[in-house]
Amino acid sequence: MSLKLRLAIGSVVVLLVPSLAWSAAKTARSAASVEGKLDVPPAATQKPYAPAWQEVVPVNPPPFIWVPVGKGAVYTLQVSRSKDFPPGDTLTFEGIPTSVFVPRKTFDPGDWHWRYGASLGGETAYGKARPFTVPADARPFPFPDFDKALRGVAKKRPRLFFPGKRLEAIRQAAAGPLKADVETLCRRCDRAIGRDLVAEPPRPKTGPERVHVMRTTRPPMDEMEQCALAYLLTGKREYGDEAKRRLLHFFSWDPEGSTNLWSYDEPAMWVMMRGTRAYDWTYDLFAPSEREKVEPVMKARAEHFYRHLKRRPFESNPYESHAGRMPGFLGEAALSFAHEWPEARGWLEYATLLYYTSYPAWGGDDGGWQEGPGYWSAYMSFALHYVAALRNATGIDLAAKPFFQNTPYYALYTATPYHEHRPFGDGATGSPRGLGHVMYAFSTLAQNPHFRWYHRESGLSVGSSLLTLATYDPHLQAKSPEGLPPARLFPAVGLAAFHTALGDKENDVTFLFRSSPYGGVSHGHADQNAFVVEAFGRGVALATGYYPWYGSPHHHNWTRATRSVNSVLVDGEGQAPRSWDAKGEITAFRSVEGYDYVEGEAAPAYGGRLKQFRRHVVHVRPGIFVIFDRLAAAKPATFQWLLHAHEKIGIEGRTLTVRREPAAMDVHILLPAQVRLSQTDAYDPEPETVGQKRATYQKTWHLTAETPRPAETAEFLTVLLVHKKGRQAQLPQVRHVDGAGAVGVHLSMPDGSAEVVAFRTDTRAAEVSCGGLTSRGRVFARGRDPSGKTIRNLDVGDTD
């Protein structure tokens, strides 16, 4: 979308895309064909309008996104200080082929309006004016000039990751401080040399067949890239020759055959991700006749990526998990062949436009990620390879995007490296330490010492991955995140994190809460209003279940079902599975001295069976969590409050005991007045095994606290006391308190201090009271020292 100045009169600027301009001399048709298609609400699978109404944008210029009006539409964007868009004070960008756009120049700070127009071959009709504000401190982020960018791409290979002087610098590091890691890489390559290669597979038809193809094709393709990288770093011919052997083999596979992108996308994407890099690094080893065998296949597969992205189109409809990898893969291929393929410029510009606008589908500017830390790690790795390659080749810095600036905090707060698990989403049972390579790259790109600390604590080496080599920076020093705020909210994905001592494993207790506007689609689960607890590096309250393969009976019926997490069932049934409408919402979040608070509403997730599921959580620092659930059903029902743990849960009356040394948690169930407790260590169904290698699955325990009789409403009031084993004497005495229009908890500490935490139950009273406190709010708490002096307060009102 190379824009050239067409007209400049006073402050009027009209910009035109020459290749897509339509002649004003053509007979104009009525604009009625698009009127009525403008300003329509986005579907669940479409990106919302941006900038949003009255949004204060974080970057300048902001990305503009609107709902497309139909195939073949050509768009015009207007930006003005006035909502009337007068000719003398309007910026006009014409001939835009996509429903997204980013200007190449920044705007002056202040209040602006934008609107888009559309044409299906006739006159242009315009939508409504949308106000937004550009603050003075917005980060400059104009769209790059790709004519200039391509001139900066090296003519000589390598072009990917290590162009020009970067190659010599990384070779010096490989022979110096990274020598041990490179020697480990070479030993892996030594074992790969001459190994038999997997034949071109048939198209898989079942889940287990797909897993088999993925597991048999990925490793030899990984080794192809590793051998090429070893050749690049050491110059040893045996590694380059092995990479070349594999390139000739894998790129002899028919790009229109069984590994076609639309037959089974995993091998189609993997061979390009590994092969594009390996070919760039070993290019000098190929004879012209051999290049003629490899390059047409690469080009055909790159064309498949482009076609797939355009067909969706990704800029408006990016909510396909695998498609989220393709902009980066397409961009890397375009960089590698920037001077050989005429299509490369357009592909590179389109891939970068997607990063500026629609990417990622599963998160927002706050950095949260819908699909869980496991998939975050994988997809950030895919994305950051392109971010690093583009920056190293052209200087274009996609890392300035707000999402990339903020998303490392998602990993830091929700999958801290000493945690045992990484909820929520598929792969939650894995260790967070594998996120370390990605966090190293983020630490370099953002020059953030807290992200470098994450990598250090993960125990991963620097030179053991391409991503860390491409972002190698030995000068940035790690710094513990202990000084960061103890709580953080990621509103775009409905996730809140509380810590007692972030960065200090021996003293940190983490409470994570999820209530997501995305529902339970893709790699997300039906886990609205669910929580998990990690303490001192151990999982205490869990999200359970495994991931044998996507959609396996265990995965579908247990892992991504509500019964696998710490939420609530209605008549034994959970939230609607795999539904965009099965969403939750974080309705309040506060973090003040001594307290953290989060509140979520998840009734829409139950498919009409609930009118209300409001969960309130007050964190009395450090490590006491008071949870109050209010439930209202469409008809009388029983309600099941769930808790999951690694080891059998102790039950003594209405007090539960969870152990996971050195961590422990006592759970007091104060409401309802009557409850039936039961637990089991069975999964239903059990996890499947795949192939000849038997997976190791551990049992977990699943407790249910059930109301005994059907009713239209129920209230659960519970207190979670997290502590180290053997320190029960330091725990408070817990007492249920009934008030006037409120219910609460009194906590008596061993040192004589006390806490009252209360929740409004009467929605009509102007004031309510409980435990000696009076409030006009809906949640209130007060802490007193041993002398009775108030030392902290929490008051959450209706407007919070």
Span 81-124, pLDDT tens digits: 999 999 889 999 999 999 999 999 999 999 999 999 999 988 89
In sequence order, what are the beta bridge partners of 650? 657
Domain 488-731 CATH assignment equals 3.40.50.1240: no
pLDDT at residue 12, as a whole number: 39
pLDDT digits (tens, 9 = 90+) for 451-473: 999 999 999 999 889 999 999 99
> Concatenated DSSP letters for 188-248?
HHHHHTT---PPPPPPP-SHHHHHHHHHHHHHHHHHHHHHHHHHHHH--HHHHHHHHHHHH
77 has which bridge partners?
A: 93, 116
Cβ–Cβ < 8 Å for 412, 481: yes
Domain ranges of the chain: 4-140, 178-359, 488-731, 733-800
Closest residue by Cα to residue 73 from 430, 313, 397 = 313
Q: Do residues 495 and 516 touch, judged by C-beta distance below 8 A?
A: yes
Which residues make beta-bridge pairs with 278? Answer: none
The CATH number of domain 4-140 is 2.60.40.10: yes
Instruction: Look at phi and psi of residue 529 and say left if phi exceeds 0, alpha if psi is from -120 to 50, else beta.
Output: left
Identify the pLDDT of residue 464: 81
Residues with pLDDT less than 70, the chain:
1-32, 691-695, 799-800
CB 133 within 8 A of CB 57: yes
If residue 791 lies in a helix (H) or strand (E), which one and from where to where? strand 790-796
pLDDT at position 34: 84
- Nearest residue to 270 (alpha-carbon basis) of 219, 195, 212: 219
pLDDT value, residue 463: 87
Report the pLDDT value the prediction gives residue 144, as an integer from 0 to 100. 97
Count of alpha carbons within 13 angstroms of residue 183, beta-carbon side? 6
- Kindly write down the DSSP assignment for every residue of 435-497, as one continuous string: GHHHHHHHHHHHT-HHHHHHHHHHT--STTSHHHHHT--TTPPP--GGGS-SEEEEGGGTEEE
Computed over its alpha carbons, how large is the radius of gyration of the chain? Answer: 28
Report pLDDT for 36: 85
Q: What angle do CA 32, 34, 37 make, to 5 degrees?
A: 125
DSSP-derived pairing of the beta strands 90-96 and 12-16: parallel
In CATH, the number for domain 178-359 is 1.50.10.100
Q: Token digits for 225?
A: 């890239």
**DSSP code of residue 572:** T
Phi/psi of residue 651, nearest 5 degrees: -125, 120
The rounded distance, in Å, linking the Cα atoms of 718 and 716 is 6
pLDDT of res. 603: 98
